[in-house]
Amino acid sequence: MRRSRKVKILATLGPASSDKATILALFKAGADVFRINMSHTAHDKLRELVSIIREIDAEEGRPIGILADLQGPKLRLGTFANKFVEISVGQTFTLDSDPTPGSAGRVYLPHPEILEALEPGHRLLIDDGKVRLRVVSTDGKSALTTVEVGVKLSDRKGVSVPDSTIRTGALTEKDRADLDAALEAKVDWIALSFVQRPEDVAEVRKIAAGRAGIMSKIEKPQAVQRLAEIIEISDALMVARGDLGVEMPLEEVPGIQKQITRACRRAGKPVVVATQMLESMITAPVPTRAEVSDVATAVYEGADAVMLSAESAAGDFPVDAVATMDKIATAVERDSNHKNIMHAQRTEPEATGADAISAAARQIAETLNLAAICCYTASGSTGLRAARERPRTPIIALSPIEATARRLSVVWGLHCVVSEDAYNLDDMVSRACDIAAREGFAQPHDRIIITAGVPLRTPGATNLIRIAFVGGDSASR
């Protein structure tokens, strides 16, 4: 199956999409990667979903990526004696370490790490920002605040602290267990929530030990401030706009989305734009015009992938939501403005032979109007370099390693094919020509360009370009 677009689609699985027939329908509608939200998925269900996706992968002959999204710390208030209290703007309110049920003037905050991190002037956002408190004073065990926004506090509402860096890491005990289960099930990507600093990512990388790619979710101001360091240590990023919009002013989120997308493109790291993209399709068969524009903006920016959350996991129209996103992305990529933007935002290649080869391959392919760019990639780095160039020419990523092909399924423009490794240069050219024709990218006597590393099977050593005629015996350097 060949997609008619280059941006990829992630679809979240859930109650509305957990059987094989629906997952297959989502794939055929356009889903390239499936997200399993570990906040709502038991380990038995995780293994069942992975098994179903792998069956579809084998039956359809197309690598499909699987992303396990870790829950991260859930910071919540304690309880109140009467379940809730009425509050008013300007009043004082205390958060403390006393587990006694709360009253109109105080409540238990069962997170000593927050109380230790708070300083005068810091904000606390309760219940997705419906209540905003400002710290007046703190002694590390309690914090006196004033109410700036809100009229009601109730049991166990979520707490965000956008101005405070909490000393606790991104992994909870639940996350560690979920991470082990996801790695055992051989998922392709791990999405890490609550990233504040590069050390959070390093901890997960050490546990994963290369068994899955690490996708850092950018949802906290602290992560935005250290974006370059987090990009460097991550394999991919996700713009988690929901939580980001709670912890930062809403009007700043679109600019941050562009900042993250462009930084990832410069670094050659995949970036996924997520949250509320087609939110109305949870209950309606068509999206709003504003949602269509939102998806289109991410595609115009050159994001590697766009993601559906509740729309495909729990909505009434999961397959329609994927099909709609597919249609929007396809239409945007056909617009001449999309090509102009991709060209204008293209950055200079890194000062390495492999990056120079990938940039040259893109330029040659576009100048000569070649049918495809075929890149041999064992580790995935050659495929990432080819995609970084955002060429108009289709890219076929050939890998002898199934896990690599699945991991690359989230990357912009890559049509991934699992193929036996070539045993010499002639076989490499012949195999690339045959696959380009078989997959519908080239006709007899079309030309393709091939990039690879010599000696063969040397990860990250892209150093060769060949132009070849499909269906003929000749190939020229």
> In this structure, is the dihedral angle defined by the CA atoms of residues 328, 333, 334 and 336, taken in order, positive or negative?
positive
- At 458 the pLDDT is 64
Active site residue 54: no
Whether 220 and 230 have beta carbons less than 8 Å apart is answered as no
Whether 419 and 435 have beta carbons less than 8 Å apart is answered as yes
C-alpha angle 257-261-263 in degrees, rounded to nearest 5: 120
For domain 353-476, give its CATH number from 3.30.43.10, 3.40.1380.20, 1.10.390.10, 3.40.50.970: 3.40.1380.20
Whether 163 and 41 have beta carbons less than 8 Å apart is answered as no
CA atoms within 13 A on the CB side of 410: 31
Which entry of 76, 156, 346, 457 is annotated as an active-site residue? 76
Which entry of 41, 79, 275, 324 is annotated as an active-site residue? 275
Structure tokens at 67: 């992303």
State the Cα–Cα distance between residues 6 and 11, nearest whole angstrom: 16
Nearest to 246 by CA among 110, 78, 123, 96: 123
Query: Euclidean distance between the first and final Cα of the chain, in Å?
Result: 31
- At 463 the pLDDT is 83
Kindly provide the b/e burial profile for residues 413-434, where b requires at least 16 CB atoms within 10 angstroms of the residue's own CB: bbbbbbbeebeeeeebbebbbe
Active site residue 275: yes
What is 301-334 written as a DSSP string? TT-SEEEESHHHHTSS-HHHHHHHHHHHHHHHHH
pLDDT of the chain, 477 residues: tens digit per residue: 789 999 999 999 999 999 999 999 999 999 999 999 999 999 999 999 999 999 999 999 999 999 999 999 989 999 999 999 999 999 999 999 999 999 999 999 999 999 999 999 999 999 989 999 999 999 999 999 999 999 999 999 999 999 999 987 779 999 999 999 999 999 999 999 999 999 999 999 999 999 999 999 999 999 999 999 999 999 999 999 989 999 999 999 999 999 999 999 999 999 999 999 999 999 999 999 999 999 999 999 999 999 999 999 999 999 999 999 999 999 999 999 999 999 888 888 888 888 899 999 999 999 999 999 999 998 999 999 999 999 999 999 999 999 999 999 999 999 999 998 888 889 999 999 999 999 999 999 999 999 987 776 666 678 889 999 998 544 443
- At 170 the pLDDT is 79
CA 62, chain centre distance (Å):
20
Domains of the chain, residue spans: 8-72+170-335, 84-160, 353-476
Fold category of 8-72+170-335 in CATH = TIM Barrel (3.20.20)
Which entry of 35, 62, 123, 447 is annotated as an active-site residue? 35
> In this structure, is the dihedral angle defined by the CA atoms of residues 223, 229, 231 and 233, taken in order, positive or negative?
negative
Nearest to 276 by CA among 251, 243, 248, 305: 243
Is residue 99 classed as helix, strand or coil in its secondary structure?
coil
Active site residue 385: no
Look up the CATH architecture of domain 84-160. Answer: Beta Barrel (2.40)
Which entry of 217, 265, 407, 466 is annotated as an active-site residue? 217
Active site residue 152: no
- At 474 the pLDDT is 40
How many Å is the Cα radius of gyration of the chain? Answer: 24
Strands (DSSP E) along 98-168, which ranges? 106-108, 123-126, 131-138, 142-149, 152-154, 159-160
Same fold, 8-72+170-335 and 84-160: no
